[in-house]
Amino acid sequence: MINAKINGIPVQVAEGTTILDAARKVDVKIPTLCYNDDLEPWAACGICVVKSQGSAKMLRACCTPIDEGMSIITHDPDIVQTRKTVIELILSTHPDDCLACPRNQECELQRLAAEFGIREQPFPKMLRDIPIDDSTGSLILNPEKCIRCGRCVKVCQEMQNVWAIEFLGRGEKTRIAPAADVKLGEGPCIKCGQCSAHCPVGAIYENDQTGLVWDALMKEGAEAKTCVVQIAPAVRVALGEAFGLAPGTNLTRKIYTALRRLGFDVVFDTNFAADLTIMEEGTEFVKRFAAGEGALPLITSCCPAWVDYLEKYNGDMIPNFSTAKSPQQMMGAMIKTYWAQKAGIDPAKVYSVSIMPCTAKKFENARDRTMYSSGQKDVDVTLTTRELARMIKQAGIDLLNLPESDPDSPMGPNTGAGVIFGATGGVMEAALRTAYTLITGEELRDVNFTGVRGLSGIKEASIHIKGTEVRVAVAHQMGNIAQVLEMVRKAKAEGKETPWHFVEVMACRGGCIGGGGQPYGCTDEVRKMRIRGIYDADEASEYRCSHHNPLIKQIYSAFLEKPGSHKAHELLHTSYEARDLYLK
């Protein structure tokens, strides 16, 4: 252990601990801008400078390990003035249109400027006239607001292994731009939104489509449509953060009420469609595993950013990919077929909105022709959790004091298995709960598969079904999946049995609870709290297995016939094709 002092306060930390983390341990705040808990520090901004007593040299606290006997000074006139000057220099290349910025009041640069009392700008403005890039349809890149902290580059390259964003140019002409200097939508970008979730300012943000939804909600007379909304599992344990609540606070039944007050006619829950997904994907797994009908391992397909990554980087693995659509798209198809038919409404007069934790869901709803399986666009618009929060605030809805309500039937009631789709390992756990019954005809005594839970980048587990071993793997955070796929390829090339029979992949760290459209400020501690909220909801559920949902049974008997039927394949399944990394 290392013994040192921070502003005269004794601190004991493990060897290798940075000055920044040592200061945090004794509740001393050192300001940062380029630093993020998810990333290896790289000292780009210089705001975290400190001094070691007896030396005039300034050290960057984010990347400098604290040594035995060090006495660190975090605040003195020189240090404060240096930090203030750095902020002023950054502001000299940054626009002043804070009121119209999507990060207004949630901007880390704005907060620092306020904390340091910056009222004047001593340096001349040197703005870069670079056009906005909205080519992905999911994310907006505004280079003029970029402060070149490098977070988005490190996230995209190191965490996600996508390499869609890079540094271009040198010196004052350095800028962050899409790889190869093409449009973001013309390159490797998978729309996961982790760049926007980690950007400290308004340089990368979600494509705000709240205006389209407001227009639909406000239409009257002949132009009016029946507005139907669905809410994803991960949204319910994160939305509260935008209203001052702790991460993981479950607001499900208040959200139903809020959506009705916004003007939605019908409120469904994507958890129901997650149950539907398990019936289809579980049936697909049983056919492959027990009957040998298809390649193993079966790889999940719920995550649209992962689907995009697979088609661009791993086209050889397409035979292993589940053809089951994501819950969002299954729900969209069911709204405009099964529900519209039951309600006696023309599908063309239904406006279907999904509330998702994910920016890639905006891309998914028009990914290919199978997303129009109802004869219409199955999901008309996708909003992120952040967009929903803005709509609720704009409408003057007091979310925290709303009465609770239930979702509409028949596609609202759901099981705990549907809820846990929001966390890494949840899709696998939900699938195993039902696959066991589909294979054996018996029910599990204990439905908890804790081996696939948690934040380890790659998790492995095995279960025994009537003496037969089923090996599974779970990978989250896109940069972790290459190792899994290479092991599968290696076994295949050597003619050996696959290391796993079933693999779950989620592009974002923590799964959907850490999606690119969730409230800002996500760390592993936040992820753990959101995951805890998800599993608390699972444990409180009347039913915890998808095949126990009585309304799932009803939808098959009345409309879909059975899991894997011809009709189910027409509406609930999709296909894939290998695509080039670059469109040009």
DSSP string for 199-232: -SSSSEEE---HHHHHHHHH--GGG--EEEEEE-
> Residue 466: what pLDDT?
84
Backbone φ, ψ for residue 521 (5° rounding): 90, 25
- Place 467 in a pLDDT band, splitting at 50, 70 and 90: confident
pLDDT value for 171:
86
Provide mean pLDDT across the span 344-359. 98
**Could you give the percent of the chain with pLDDT greater than 70?**
100
Residue 104 banded pLDDT, cuts 50, 70, 90: very high
Q: In this structure, how many other beta carbons lie within 10 angstroms of the beta carbon of residue 490? A: 11
pLDDT digits over 298-330, tens only?
999 999 999 999 999 999 999 999 999 999 999
pLDDT of res. 145: 96
Question: Cα dihedral sign for 139, 520, 194, 44?
Answer: positive
Structural domain boundaries in the chain: 2-75, 98-206, 211-572
* Residue 273 in tokens: 């469609």
The whole-angstrom separation of Cα 220 and Cα 555 is 32
What is 211-572's CATH number, 3.40.50.720, 3.40.50.1780, 3.30.70.600, 1.10.3720.10?
A: 3.40.50.1780
Q: What is the pLDDT of residues 401-420, one digit of tens each?
A: 999 999 999 999 999 999 99
576 touches 183 (CB < 8 A): no
CA nearest neighbour of 577 among 390, 311, 382? 311
In the predicted model, what is the mean pLDDT of residues 220-225? 94
pTM flag (> 0.85): yes
Strand 468-476 versus strand 502-506 pairing type: parallel
| Distance of alpha carbon 120 from alpha carbon 239, whole angstroms | 36
At the second CATH level, the architecture of 98-206 is 2-Layer Sandwich (3.30)
pLDDT the model gives residue 583: 87
Residue 439 class from Cβ within 10 Å (0-12 exposed, 13-18 middle, 19+ buried)? middle
The pLDDT tens digits for 120-146 are 999 999 998 899 999 999 999 999 999
* Averaged pLDDT of the chain: 96
> Domain 2-75 classified CATH 3.40.50.10320?
no
Q: Which tens digit of pLDDT belongs to each residue from 143-195? A: 999 999 999 999 999 999 999 999 999 888 899 999 999 999 999 999 999 99
Question: Is the confidence at residue 584, as pLDDT, over 80?
Answer: no
